[in-house]
């Protein structure tokens, strides 16, 4: 398919958002914008998985409340997360009497969920949907890598999974940030097998989706105040800028990466933040605020995901990746 | 939300399907309808996970070929599976230069993917999508339960995960089976904690979605030649019929369950088939054939999923479930 970009005729809008994040995240630049700052990353729960689910439940309810609505006003929850069988999203959805569309796009989930929610709303099938995702450093570490108790050394190309969650309420009516189009990504695999180097694995997928988007829309990079990737980190962002530049698209002047800006990198965060919660928190706090107050007018939000599992890596597979893009405008 | 049912104005149609299944599955009634019958459930691969992925790749390509199309004619693959991080779907999608929407609904995936594909197509956002899913007995056993080598005894309330995959090509134009409406389900949890008793856990979710569908459409059960659930099995189907009957809806005359019909139950299949591949294979082979030849005119396809993980069960959680319904008519 040459043209992967879909346009939303009625420009569904994000009328409210909600975010929550852990202490390490809130120490960074986004701290001032996050709605609920956790002093304790267990959120009062007995396990990290339950804490992750509680964060997601909190922001789904928060976005509904911030819009002045109740759960019965919502027609669909579109959500997913990084845990096996997306239990954070499924168990969070259990708390709401609302139809649930479970999605999986690893760290690309925020963009995937927004694109799906916007499609259902724009087509007139439903009035309102909540798109949400999150992640937790400690649940991700023990599922994807090693038990924290083992105290493994982290390599310098690694990133730090964001403890946090974000939700956006997408509505056919109301005042907010418009969703103009979505470019859903293909699965791109450049043969990277280093599971500590997600930025390098995901950068080609981000490049593919961004290049596809600009080919379809015939826009210049300057048409966007920001081209925001999800969690490529510092190394992945450099690779992305090289890959797009090689294809004749210079995004260096207006590219930022949520993973690069989420932390004050002072210890083991190395390349920056990652995880489904990374772009979800930055979009729904910092970026949404800048769009609503007019500091930003138009952004391309490109969340990226690495579609590996411990089993696929253990069986010698490389890391297939994906990136979905959404155009947001105030 | 009172009305969970969405209606497709342009009735996107399933213009082609493709199915594959293992030897045990093809020994049953569906054997005559399955397109590719495997003599060897490894499909020539070195691991069960790779075999599962290869089956899914096979039917996605098969559905495209059976429609007389090539991958470049397809605008989206909507797929998911039971493995952690839906690696079967993600790695299958890697083989096609087509945008990928990853979904997770456990064994409800076939209905979820059809509903999402139909929404994108009906709304005019894309022309054609492939909805697909699958499962493999041996990969599911070792991920969700025990290594096969352990030779664990199976309890009589258990089901047998179908080794197979099915794909449906959903198109705005062409001759085929029309998708008229979809009722996306809420997450329903009746507190069942026995991970060997999925039928009992999922039956309340199926009942909720079916009752919601009939309330919205104001139809009688007799408006459908069949009300087909995904993989409740024999015990779950009995519970479903009781639960709907208690609420004033008698579906006993026209209810069938894919899990009940997929096997000649002769050894350890007990309550019948389960897994995302169960309803995917039965729908896209047997039921699609009956619809296309006119033996069936109109069915309500209700795939059910149990949204647990080994971690959630290990942490003492009950099993949240979901069911999505799609109305299909020739």
Task: Provide ipTM, 2 decimals.
Answer: 0.97
Strands (E), chain A: 5-7, 13-21, 36-37, 76-79, 100-102, 128-135, 160-161, 164-171, 177-183, 226-229, 255-257, 273-274, 298-306, 321-329
The answer to whether A119 contacts B125, with C-beta atoms less than 8 Å apart, is yes
Alpha-carbon span B112 to A22, nearest angstrom: 33
- State the pLDDT at residue B265: 74
Collect all residues of chain A within an 8 Å Cβ-Cβ radius of residue B83: 309, 311
* Interval B132-158: pLDDT, tens: 999 999 999 999 998 999 988 889 999
Give the pLDDT score at A1: 45
Angle at A320 between CA A319 and CA A321, to 5 degrees: 110
Q: What pLDDT, on the 0 to 100 scale, is given for residue B1?
A: 45
List Cα–Cα distances, A129 to A16, A108, A195, B133, B316, in angstroms.
11, 18, 34, 25, 30
**A87–B312 C-beta distance less than 8 A:** yes
Q: Cβ of B201 under 8 Å from any chain A Cβ? A: no
Chain A hits for B180, CB-CB cut-off 8 Å, are none
Q: Are B281 and B301 in contact (CB under 8 A)?
A: no
Q: Is the dihedral of CA B83, B84, B88, B93 positive or negative?
A: positive
Q: Which residue has the tokens 């929550």?
A: A20
Per-residue pLDDT of chain A (330 residues; tens, 9 = 90+): 447 999 999 999 999 999 999 999 999 999 999 999 999 999 999 999 999 999 999 999 999 999 999 999 999 999 999 999 999 999 999 999 999 999 999 999 999 999 999 999 999 999 999 999 999 999 999 999 989 999 888 899 999 999 999 999 999 999 999 999 999 999 999 999 999 999 999 999 999 999 999 999 999 999 999 999 999 999 999 999 999 999 999 999 999 999 999 998 777 778 999 999 999 999 999 999 999 999 999 999 999 999 999 999 999 999 999 999 999 999
Q: Which of the residues B312, B322, B323 would you substitute to probe the A interface, choosing the one with the greatest number of A C-beta atoms within 10 Å? A: B312
The answer to whether the pTM exceeds 0.95 is yes
Report the distance separating Cα A209 and Cα A211, nearest Å: 6
A49 touches chain B (CB under 8 A): yes
Domain B177-329 class in CATH: alpha beta
A101 touches chain B (CB under 8 A): yes
According to CATH, where is 3.40.47.40 located in chain B? 5-171, 177-329
Q: Is B87 on the interface with A (CB under 8 A)?
A: yes
Count the Cβ atoms, other than its own, within 10 Å of residue A172: 17
Q: How far is CA B259 from the centre of its chain?
A: 10
Q: What is the pLDDT of residue B56?
A: 98
CB atoms within 10 A of CB A146: 11
Which residues on A lie below 8 Å from B5 (Cβ)? none
- pLDDT, one tens digit per residue, over B41-82 is 999 999 999 999 999 999 999 999 999 999 999 999 999 999
Does A90 touch chain B if contact means CB atoms closer than 8 Å? yes
Q: Are A101 and B116 inside 8 Å of each other by CB?
A: yes
Helix axis angle for A109-122 and B109-122, nearest 10°, is: 60
- Testing the interface with B: which of A312, A315, A319 to mutate, by most B Cβ within 10 A? A312
Name the minimum distance, in Å, from the CA of B235 to any CA of chain A. Answer: 24
CATH 3.40.47.40 fits A5-171, yes or no: yes
Q: What is the pLDDT of residue A270?
A: 86
- Chain A residues in contact with B100 by the CB 8 A cut-off are 184-187, 322
Chain A residue closest in CA terms to B129:
A1
Encode pLDDT of B215-260 as tens digits: 999 999 999 999 999 999 999 999 999 999 999 999 999 999 999 9
């Amino acid at each position: 398919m040459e043209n992967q970009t879909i346009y939303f005729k009625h420009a569904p809008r994000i009328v409210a958002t909600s975010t929550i994040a852990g202490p390490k995240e809130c120490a960074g630049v986004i701290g001032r914008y996050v709605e609920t700052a956790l002093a304790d990353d267990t959120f009062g729960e007995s396990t990290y998985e339950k804490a992750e689910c509680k964060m997601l439940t909190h922001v789904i309810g928060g976005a509904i409340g911030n819009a002045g609505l109740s759960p019965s006003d919502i027609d669909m929850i579109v959500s997913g997360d990084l845990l096996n069988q997306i239990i954070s999203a499924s168990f969070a959805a259990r708390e709401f009497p609302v139809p649930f569309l479970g999605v999986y796009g690893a760290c690309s989930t925020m963009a995937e969920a927004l694109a799906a929610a916007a499609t259902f709303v724009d087509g007139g099938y439903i009035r309102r949907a909540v798109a949400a995702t999150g992640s937790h450093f400690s649940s991700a570490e023990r599922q994807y890598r090693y038990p924290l108790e083992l105290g493994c050394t982290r390599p310098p190309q690694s990133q730090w999974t964001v403890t946090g969650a974000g939700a956006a309420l997408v509505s056919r009516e109301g005042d907010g940030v418009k969703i103009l189009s979505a470019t859903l990504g293909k699965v791109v695999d450049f043969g990277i097998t280093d599971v500590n180097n997600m930025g390098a694995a995901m950068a080609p997928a981000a490049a593919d989706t961004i290049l596809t988007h600009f080919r379809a829309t015939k826009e210049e990079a300057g048409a966007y105040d920001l081209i925001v990737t999800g969690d490529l980190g510092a190394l992945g962002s450099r690779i992305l800028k090289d890959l797009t530049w090689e294809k004749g698209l210079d995004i260096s002047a207006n590219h930022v990466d949520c993973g690069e800006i989420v932390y004050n990198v002072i210890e083991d965060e190395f390349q920056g933040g990652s995880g489904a919660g990374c772009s979800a928190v930055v979009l729904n706090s910092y970026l949404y605020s800048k769009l609503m107050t007019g500091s930003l007018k138009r952004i391309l939000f490109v969340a990226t995901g690495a579609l590996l599992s411990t089993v696929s890596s253990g069986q010698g597979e490389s890391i297939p990746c994906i990136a979905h893009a959404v155009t947001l405008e105030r």
